[in-house]
Amino acid sequence: MAKLWGGRFSKKTNPLVEEFTKSIQFDKKLAAYDCAGSIAHARMLGKCKIIPKKDAVKIVSGLNSILNQIKKGSFKVDNSVEDIHTAIQNALDKKIGKSSGMLHTARSRNDQVSLDTRMYCKEEINSILALLAGLKASIKGFSKKNIDVIVPGFTHLQNAQPVLLSHQMLAYCQMLGRDIDRLNDCKKRVDVLPLGSCAISGTSLPIDRNFVAKELGFSKISSNSMDAVSDRDFVIEIIASLAIIGMHLSRLSEDLIIWNSQVFGFLDIGDEYSTGSSMMPQKKNPDVLELIRGKCGTLYGSLVEVMTMMKGLPLTYNRDMQLDKEPLFKSVETVRCSLKILIAMFKCLKVNKEKASELLNDEAIYATDIMEYLVKKGVPLKESHDIVGKIVAYGLQRKLKLSEISLREYRFFSPKFNKDAYELLDAKKSVSLKNSFGGTSFKQVRRQLENA
């Protein structure tokens, strides 16, 4: 098949080499961007009189019709060629004949592939941003609906203190908010036009890079041609941001899996989002969440893949860099699928309030409230901590819950105890007391809901 090079070669390329070096099987994903980039480039070549106006017009109209075919899904990618740049160039040759040979003036595949990848990234960042906002909205809706549900919050997966379930869910909104910030920040560095850097050093032809940037909606043009053709930081940044998103989604999934288990049992994942067992007829398993959790492996793998591929590469372009695309595409797809299914799933999650309140039977979760009760009465923290620790141990030894220990016994540990201490052994009270900014009180959670 026609190549974009070959003049200096006297022997045919070994078919094994062609098979080994080609990227068409994955970079065909960039077809529309490649076309759009070429259209802007051809317009610039015509405007700057680098090629005759009438040839530029012919090229642009040929590319436009190819772009239409790509958008309609009727463009047949020739899988035998080296890469998408070659495929589009060949298609244009076929369509318009001789003028197409002028398109690659003042351009190399080295700046072209960076341009295509940046255009892909800009679009995909926007679509992931929309999904992140969608998941935030779903979590917010769930939190609003279940604002009154109290559950034990954990540290070390041990009962710690009562919290509003909505407070815990809104913690994930905070993480997703940072994920959004990170991607928006990445976008600034993706939004730089590399085209015009050519193979390595720029060109002697009078190109207008700002014109191309404007045509393609880039806010900046790159300042160093050598950097522009060899930089893949933007790919790494996106993959890293996606890996962090994946990590957040895996933690969210794990919380939902735990709560959905029979041991906790206060959350029910809808039948539509569960799967069964081939042997145990009673099973309803959270496989979707487990896969989201598991796919973190793919995301971390992609990050390590590209970081390692880039390490120690001499400037400027090296063919190694072709290997950035599959991990990039895979990461984008993985996060997109996980976000989509989570958004849908949240609409079906049901909370079992009785189960949730059963979990609050462990009155030791109020120990910190009792400690702060003593602090409010002037007992130094260290002493209060010690007193309440001893009371907990006393109860454990005698198999007494904190509410079953008499006031006389409490007074034995500290004379500061009064009858009102028993009022603390209540989940609603405990939660309401945590009214410090960002705490789990109803008031603070309502504020979070308003700001989320």
Q: Which residues are identified as catalytic?
A: 156, 277
By the rule CB under 6 A, 321 interacts with ligand ARG? yes
Nearer to ligand ARG, 317 or 373 (CB): 317
Shortest Cβ distance from residue 89 to ligand ARG (Å)? 12
Nearer to ligand ARG, 317 or 366 (CB): 317
CA within 13 Å, CB half, 129? 15
Shortest Cβ distance from residue 99 to ligand ARG (Å)? 23
Segment contacting ligand ARG by CB under 6 A, of 107-115, 246-254, 278-286, 370-378: 107-115
Nearer to ligand ARG, 43 or 325 (CB): 325
Nearer to ligand ARG, 273 or 317 (CB): 317
Among 38, 89, 100, 110, binds ligand ARG (CB under 6 A): 110
Q: Residue type at 177?
A: G
Segment contacting ligand ARG by CB under 6 A, of 232-240, 319-327, 336-344, 370-378: 319-327
Shortest Cβ distance from residue 309 to ligand ARG (Å)? 11
Shortest Cβ distance from residue 83 to ligand ARG (Å)? 4
Shortest Cβ distance from residue 118 to ligand ARG (Å)? 13
**For residue 65, how many other CB atoms are within 10 A of its CB?**
16
Shortest Cβ distance from residue 315 to ligand ARG (Å)? 14
Nearer to ligand ARG, 326 or 386 (CB): 326
Length in residues, the chain: 452
CA distances in angstroms from 157 to 165, 255, 258, 264, 368, listed in the order given: 15, 10, 10, 12, 17
CA distances in angstroms from 237 to 26, 202, 264, 320, listed in the order given: 21, 26, 38, 18
Left if phi > 0, otherwise alpha if psi is -120 to 50, otherwise beta: which for 242?
alpha
By the rule CB under 6 A, 260 interacts with ligand ARG? no
Nearer to ligand ARG, 27 or 369 (CB): 27
Among 197, 322, 331, 338, binds ligand ARG (CB under 6 A): 322
Q: Give dist(CA 173, CA 132) in Å, integer.
A: 9
CB 286, CB 256: distance < 8 Å: yes
Shortest Cβ distance from residue 67 to ligand ARG (Å)? 20
Q: Residue type at 412?
A: F
Using CB under 6 A as the criterion, what x/- string covers residues 140-159 for binding ligand ARG?
Answer: --------------------
Six token digits for residue 216:
């393609």
Nearer to ligand ARG, 115 or 371 (CB): 115
Subset of residues 20 to 59 that bind ligand ARG, contact rule: CB under 6 A: 23, 27
How many chain residues touch ligand ARG (CB under 6 A)? 10
* Residue spans of alpha helices (H) in 51-164: 53-72, 84-96, 109-145
Nearer to ligand ARG, 84 or 212 (CB): 84
Left if phi > 0, otherwise alpha if psi is -120 to 50, otherwise beta: which for 167?
alpha
Segment contacting ligand ARG by CB under 6 A, of 146-154, 253-261, 315-323, 420-428: 315-323
Segment contacting ligand ARG by CB under 6 A, of 106-114, 166-174, 239-247, 356-364: 106-114
Closest-CA residue to 340 (of 298, 292, 271): 292
Using CB under 6 A as the criterion, what x/- string covers residues 408-427 for binding ligand ARG?
Answer: --------------------
Any long-range contacts for 129-135 (C-beta under 8 Å, 24+ apart)?
Answer: 129/180, 129/183, 129/184, 131/335, 131/336, 131/339, 131/340, 131/343, 132/176, 132/179, 132/180, 132/183, 132/245, 132/339, 133/180, 134/339, 134/343, 135/176, 135/339, 135/342, 135/343, 135/346
Six token digits for residue 207:
């190109």
Segment contacting ligand ARG by CB under 6 A, of 88-96, 105-113, 366-374, 433-441: 105-113
Nearer to ligand ARG, 24 or 132 (CB): 24
Helix-helix angle 233-260:296-310, to 10 degrees: 160
Among 83, 111, 179, 363, binds ligand ARG (CB under 6 A): 83
- Positive or negative, the CA dihedral 61, 63, 65, 67 is negative
Q: Give dist(CA 372, CA 161) in Å, integer.
A: 13
By the rule CB under 6 A, 317 interacts with ligand ARG? yes
Closest-CA residue to 42 (of 64, 10, 13): 64
Segment contacting ligand ARG by CB under 6 A, of 246-254, 271-279, 316-324, 378-386: 316-324
**Which spans of this chain sit near ligand ARG (rule: CB under 6 A)?**
23, 27, 83, 109-110, 113, 317, 319, 321-322
